Amino acid sequence: MDDRSIEDILDTIGDQHARRLLAAISREPQSAKDLAEECDLSLPTVYRRIEMLEEYDLVTDETLVADDGNHYKIYESNFESTVITLEDDEYKIRIYREENLPDRFSQLWDDLGAE
């Protein structure tokens, strides 16, 4: 994953609160307030963990407008699965993301060198 430290990524996904948040938003996108209630965490804890997860592109957010005109964000998991392997005394992490069919076709087309 780019130049990011594998240890930092493992520490992030190894954090108990971060894992609980990821589990919750993998079921359905949720606001920080909803996550705090569901996971029984304080809002500052939720925001700190979301920030950690965003650093490694593990969550995405979308800004919505409430009926009263206030803006808020909902958070969603940005991957389907993670595989951690140990090869030659070195840990490797592979994060699998869901791609839609047009994106996959475009990537395949680009990989073939077609224009």
Catalogue the E-assigned strands of the chain. Answer: 30-31, 59-65, 71-77, 81-87, 90-96
Quickly count: other Cβ atoms within 10 Å of residue 38's Cβ: 16
> Mind listing the pLDDT tens digit for each residue in 67-110?
999 999 999 998 877 778 888 888 777 777 766 545 655 666 66
77 exposure class (CB count in 10 Å sphere: 0-12, 13-18, 19+): buried
> Mind listing the pLDDT tens digit for each residue in 5-27?
778 888 888 899 999 999 999 99
Q: Encoding tokens for residue 115?
A: 């224009």
Q: Which pTM was predicted?
A: 0.72
d(CA 50, CA 31): 11
For the chain, domains (ranges, CATH) are: 6-111 (1.10.10.10)
Output phi, psi for 112, to 5 deg. Answer: -80, -10
